[in-house]
């Protein structure tokens, strides 16, 4: 921040000027002076912040009735300089500008808030170890609240197939923050009932950011032009329609919430509430839930059920690789029936060889 003795040449506008007029005035300008008639008027701070957020990079100067206590706030709002009144105590302005070296809220300046600095300093492994120790016996909603707490400094999303048990997790997420991103892998092979259920459940729970993620069109045309790859190579089909699309969808996401449970497969028997997977924190709020507990939660919450869940489909994936199961069969035995395959791959990591 600079302290000036006089107002430099440039566009001069009072802070009472409407934003649209300010933006029009500075469209081709490199210097803007915003003049404050009273130090209590916060409109100048708002104008500065909006201009910076919208990409204006000219020199922004504050002038008028201002006090040293506002120095830091002016800088954090995007001002480059302040025109000091005659006889002003320059040292007082400098002292107040430098009084604090940390911030608790993000602003347009590059200063990183303390909570983000602390989170960034902690590796995913450190965070997961701490949360597992603290919340190992916590209920699902407690685990979810910890994962979605902004103080954790992570960018979360929920991965949901909108399958037979999806409503329990999504209802808990909606109670905490219905704007949490929910990723749905639209493979192009889902049952129509699943697509209808996704809309029903989204509307019922008030989820506001359900993201439909599809396979890359070029990959699909090259690798599965007849939509029959699932017959020859189910792993390659899952790679094309789930694994690769999810990788793209998770750009910028560093905490992923899933609905996996220990009872589902042998690979999941030791599932923990929090884990690290490919450098990202993965959260499993329902890790220790049983089928009976899930059904009880569905009843208690009067949650709509997937239409196929009452027709012998306790686990629902893409239609070519999912069948109904008998009463004496495991819940996921209808997935890739007759094959050694038990996972689509999104929870197992990248395949050793590329598809194709």
Q: Which positions are catalytic?
A: 344
Interatomic CA distance for residues 182 and 169, integer angstroms: 11
Residue 172 burial by Cβ neighbours in a 10 Å radius (0-12, 13-18, 19+): buried
Calculate the CA 144 to chain-centre distance.
14
User: Cα 35 to the chain's mean position, in Å?
Assistant: 39
CB atoms within 10 A of CB 40: 8
Cβ–Cβ under 8 Å, residues 103 and 114: yes
Residue 158: closest CA among 143, 195, 34? 143
**CA dihedral sign, ordered 80, 86, 90, 96:** negative
The tokens of 329 are what?
A: 């069969």
Tell me the C-alpha to C-alpha distance, in Å, between residue 10 and each of 24, 189, 244, 286: 14, 61, 52, 60
Listing DSSP states for 186-208 in one string gives --S-B-HHHHHHHHHHHHHHT--
Nearest by Cα to 62 from 73, 53, 54: 73
**What is the CA angle 70-74-75, rounded to 5?**
125
Q: Which helix (H) or strand (E) holds 25?
A: helix 19-25
Which residue in 183, 214, 191 sits closest to 321, CA to CA? 191
Instruction: Indicate the SS3 state at residue 281.
Output: strand
- 274-277 and 280-283 as β-strands: parallel, antiparallel, unpaired? antiparallel
């Amino acid at each position: 921040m600079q302290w000036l003795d006089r107002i430099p040449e440039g566009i001069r506008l009072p802070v009472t000027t409407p934003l649209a007029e300010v933006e029009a005035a500075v469209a081709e300008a490199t210097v803007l002076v915003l003049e404050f008639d009273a130090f209590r008027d916060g409109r100048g701070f708002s104008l500065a912040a909006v201009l910076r957020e919208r990409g204006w990079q000219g020199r922004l100067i504050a002038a008028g009735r201002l006090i040293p206590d506002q120095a830091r706030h002016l800088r954090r709002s995007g001002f480059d300089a302040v025109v000091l009144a005659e006889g002003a105590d320059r040292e007082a302005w400098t002292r107040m500008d430098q009084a604090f070296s940390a911030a608790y809220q993000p602003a347009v300046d590059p200063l990183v808030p303390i909570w983000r600095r602390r989170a960034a300093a902690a590796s995913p492994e450190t965070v997961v170890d701490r949360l597992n120790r603290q919340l190992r016996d916590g209920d699902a909603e407690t685990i979810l609240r910890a994962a979605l707490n902004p103080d954790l400094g992570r960018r979360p999303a929920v991965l949901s197939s909108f399958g037979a048990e999806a409503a329990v997790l999504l209802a808990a997420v909606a109670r905490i923050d219905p704007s949490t991103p929910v990723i749905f892998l639209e493979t192009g092979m889902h049952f129509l009932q699943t697509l209808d259920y996704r809309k029903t459940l989204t509307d019922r729970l008030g989820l506001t950011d359900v993201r439909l993620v599809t396979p890359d069109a070029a990959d699909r045309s090259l690798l599965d032009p007849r939509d029959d790859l699932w017959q020859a190579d189910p792993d390659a089909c899952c790679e094309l329609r789930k694994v690769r699309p999810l990788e793209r969808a998770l750009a910028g996401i560093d905490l992923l919430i899933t609905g996996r449970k220990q009872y589902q497969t042998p690979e999941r028997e030791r599932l923990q509430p929090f884990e690290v997977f490919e450098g990202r924190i993965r959260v499993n709020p329902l890790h220790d839930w049983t089928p009976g507990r899930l059904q009880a939660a569905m009843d208690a919450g009067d949650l709509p059920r997937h239409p196929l869940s009452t027709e012998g489909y306790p686990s629902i994936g893409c239609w070519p690789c999912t069948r109904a199961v008998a009463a004496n069969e495991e819940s996921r035995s209808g997935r890739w029936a007759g094959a050694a395959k038990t996972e689509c791959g999104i929870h197992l990591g990248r395949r050793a060889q590329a598809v194709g």
